[in-house]
């Protein structure tokens, strides 16, 4: 079975070190391809991809990069339709690193798509609630008592992932223009409506993906009550040495948004400098 990691980046010159961490940490644990959707590139961006990063890339024009989080859904979907790769992991690029093989926990007999929750209920975290209210008015009651699911790390079989991204993109395009980042709101609402079949949702304590926005010691971790609520459900992810573990000492395969915790960012990334 052919596997690949895929993500999008603009301003490649500015972000080349972050792309390097994303690529090299994945390659430590998987022999899958790494594909960068290279947005709004110039000649220097291409040179960096070819000569410095040595990464497979696909050039696209996303127009106004303010909406790149939504536009990425379309461009990733269109690209994966053209490949013979069976299984993809589509992630954010600038703030994702790997501590294990992200495909090992995939039960492909029973599931086609794979996502992970953040351990916090929507009603407990104001950012996602605000985006849904702004972009999908009148629908917050469908998901207010659901856990937040992160759209920055999504795995799946080629056809099913492409179909999911097409549907998410359509939702972001038809939404009210209340926020430039609408992809996660679309995913949360689709899940609340039971519109995604054969979907595996990993919990914080499954040690697949950890999302620091809600599950890590950011500036809001205690003031918003996230630490208290997370502790009561799953325990608190922790830094041990230079790796992130669950409270009961399981190593996470994926750490997302680590750059929002300065101490973690420094320790996790220094091995790739």
Domain limits, the chain: 207-268
Residue 273: the pLDDT is 81
Tell me the pLDDT tens digit for each residue of 218-233. Answer: 988 999 999 999 999 9
Complete edge-to-edge strand list for the sheet that includes strand 96-98: 96-98, 254-256, 209-211
Q: Which residues of the chain have pLDDT under 70?
A: none
Residue 9: the pLDDT is 98
Residue 178: the pLDDT is 96
Residue 170: the pLDDT is 98
Rounded Cα distance between 252 and 237, Å, is 9
Pairing of strands 33-39, 3-9: parallel
Residue 189: the pLDDT is 98
Q: Are 175 and 185 in contact (CB under 8 A)?
A: yes
């Amino acid at each position: 079975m052919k596997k690949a990691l895929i993500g999008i980046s603009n301003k490649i010159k500015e972000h080349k070190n972050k792309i390097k961490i994303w690529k090299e940490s994945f390659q430590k644990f998987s022999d899958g391809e790494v594909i960068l959707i290279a947005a709004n590139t110039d000649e220097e961006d291409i040179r960096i991809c070819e000569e410095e990063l040595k990464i497979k890339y696909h050039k696209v024009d996303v127009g106004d990069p303010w909406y790149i989080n939504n536009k990425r859904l379309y461009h990733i979907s269109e690209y994966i339709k053209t490949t013979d790769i069976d299984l993809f992991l589509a992630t954010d690029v600038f703030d994702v690193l790997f501590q294990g093989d992200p495909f090992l926990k995939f039960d492909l007999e029973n599931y086609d798509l794979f996502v992970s929750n953040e351990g916090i209920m929507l009603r407990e975290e104001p950012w996602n609630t605000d985006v849904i209210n702004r972009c999908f008015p009148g629908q917050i009651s469908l998901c207010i008592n659901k856990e937040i699911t992160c759209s920055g790390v999504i795995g799946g079989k080629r056809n099913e992932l492409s179909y999911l991204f097409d549907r998410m993109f359509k939702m972001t395009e038809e939404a009210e223009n209340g926020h430039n980042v609408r992809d996660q709101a679309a995913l949360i609402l689709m899940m609340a409506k039971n519109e995604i079949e054969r979907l595996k949702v990993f919990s914080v304590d499954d040690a697949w993906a950890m999302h620091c926005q809600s599950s890590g010691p950011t500036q809001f971790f205690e003031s918003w009550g996230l630490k208290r609520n997370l502790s009561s459900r799953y325990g608190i992810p922790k830094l041990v040495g230079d790796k992130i573990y669950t409270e009961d000492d399981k190593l996470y395969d994926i750490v997302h948004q680590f750059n929002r915790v300065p101490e973690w960012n420094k320790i996790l990334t220094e091995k790739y400098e």
